[in-house]
Structure 1
């Protein structure tokens, strides 16, 4: 099972302050729109998302179909196939992807400590 690129999506109080802080750690803006209160920042292969006012908790994020440069690899595991495999392993899906569709989709699971894990596919399989 290929989960795709990993990032941490952070719920931030002030996106400008957070952007400045992470720039001091060597991160650079990779994508996003600060006027919409979201940025994706990278430091080599480390990726974080800064999101102000969009969700309550920090979220572990996997993007099936993307590598660390947001490009589609030659092969990857579709998000619906990952969902099916996790269900078969007894993991409860909090928010499900429609398994009768194709292309972009997402689902969420919650780990034993209450941390949300988002599987978010942006590309066609």
Structure 2
């Protein structure tokens, strides 16, 4: 099962302070608006999202259909197939995606330690 691009979405208290910190680690903002309290930052193939006031905890994120540069892959495992495989494997899934739908969709799961994993397909 190909999960797509991986990133960590961080729930930050002060987006400007977090941006300055991660810039010192070599990350640069590639998407988002600090004034809207969200930024996507990248260092090589490593991607982090900074989100102030949007959710309570950090989230692991997979983007089916994208590579590390947010470019659409020519072939990929559709999010609906991923969701079905996880359900078949006994993993409880959040809101179901209509299996007959196409295009962008998302769902989340929670690991045994309470970490949220978001599957967010944009294509």
TM-score of the superposed pair, with normalisation by structure 1: 0.96
1: distance between equivalents of 2:80 and 2:65? 12
The number of equivalent residue pairs is 123
Aligned to 1:40: 40
Deviates more, 1:6-15 or 1:93-102: 93-102
- Unmatched segments (≥5 aa) in structure 2: none
- Mapped contact 1:18–1:50 kept (Cα < 8 A): yes
Give structure 1 regions of 4+ aligned residues with deviation exceeding 3 angstroms.
Answer: none
Deviation at 1:98, TM superposition (A): 2.4
Deviations 1:25-84 (A, max 9, x none): 000001111111000000101100000000011000000011011111110000011000
Aligned to 1:60: 60
1: distance between equivalents of 2:95 and 2:56? 16
Deviation at 1:101, TM superposition (A): 1.0
2: distance between equivalents of 1:39 and 1:14? 12
- Trace 1:82-93 onto structure 2 (pairs within 5 A): 82-93=82-93
Please report the RMSD computed on the Cα atoms of aligned residues, expressed in angstroms.
0.7
Aligned to 2:104: 104
